[in-house]
Amino acid sequence: MTPVYKLSASSIKGRTNYGSMLAGNSTYVPPVVNYLVVAGGGGGGGTVAQGFAGGGGGAGGLRCTVGATGGGGTLETPLTVTLGTNYTVTVGGGGAQNTNGSNSVFSTITSTAGGRGGQQSANAAGNGGSGGGSTYVGGGPQTVGTGTANQGYDGGLGDNTDAGGGGGGGAGSVGSAATTGAGANGGSGVSTDISGSSTSYAGGGGGGSFNDATSATATAGGGAGGAGNATPSNGSNGTVNTGGGGGGGGSYYPGGTAKDGGSGGSGIVILRYPDTWTITIGAGLTGTTSAASGGFKRTTLTAGTGNVSWA
């Protein structure tokens, strides 16, 4: 808020009164920062030799103040900041196969890492920002990974007859359940235009396939599940800086070799703030700042841990 002039009245009972006006059609912009904070996606479930297909990794939790947020929740509240004060940022990495991702942080805002996909006889599907998809467990009960409220959704069930892997949960929807040997698709991501153009983030990884050449697909950065045939394939990695889950590994019986689940995609933090401010990105963080547009600047942070501040 930039005053054109300051009007001072005489002291009245020991007090001085002031007034101010804005130039032209200027609009007061409160000292807040809008944000997108996406955690790292979970890795897809791997397979053992002649085993069953892996579940897809869950997407990293997504919290956003612009357009939409994860888990079907209401939009987050922009963060009020103080100029000249440091605020911590961490960009979470994606998880390796059978491993949850890592949290992403902006000041008091934490997005929870995506859950790992399930792997036969080794790891149950992981809970997280979005949960991992489960795998065949020999006809017994399966447990999908659960998502976090207002960040993402649960993973999908694997098929307990034909052994296709369940899809990892996404920020926009539950991971699909497998109904055949073909792996199920991962849950959808969420779109936001906080960067200046609409982009989707945090889709779940596809489940791996068993004895079936069809590969599962995924949306919004999640990796595709590996094919299950005589030469089964690894799950695909989630896309970097989307928080997408990794795809589950494919499998084949008899004679199939062990295959890896894909790694989850790393997270991202995007900050939108008034174009009159100047940001300082501290050591340890990798990021870029756009030119002013529409009254805002936008800083995109893609890796590391450190501080940011504004002047």
Is 156 contained in some domain? yes
The reply to whether 23 falls in a domain is no
Q: What is the pTM of this model?
A: 0.90
Residue 285 pairs in a beta bridge with 304
The one-letter amino acid code at 237 reads N
72 occurs within a structural domain: yes
Predicted confidence (pLDDT) per residue in 202-232, tens digit: 999 999 999 986 777 777 889 999 999 888 9
pLDDT score for 2:
39
9 lies in some domain: no
pLDDT tens track for 4-32: 333 333 333 343 333 333 444 555 656 89
**133-152 confidence digits (pLDDT tens):** 999 877 667 899 999 999 99
CA distances from 66 to 37, 111, 191, 287 (A): 11, 16, 9, 20
The answer as to whether 66 is a domain residue is: yes
Number of domains in the chain: 1
How many whole angstroms separate alpha carbon 21 and alpha carbon 191? 38
Secondary-structure breakdown of the chain: helix, strand, coil percentages, each rounded to the nearest 5: 0, 25, 75
Mention every residue, 6+ apart, whose C-beta is less than 8 A from residue 276: 29
Q: Is residue 41 part of a domain?
A: yes
Residue 77 included in any domain: yes
Q: What's the pLDDT tens digit per position in 75-93?
A: 999 999 999 999 999 999 9
Residue 4 domain flag: no
Count the Cβ atoms, other than its own, within 10 Å of residue 50.
Answer: 14
Domain span including residue 257: 30-311
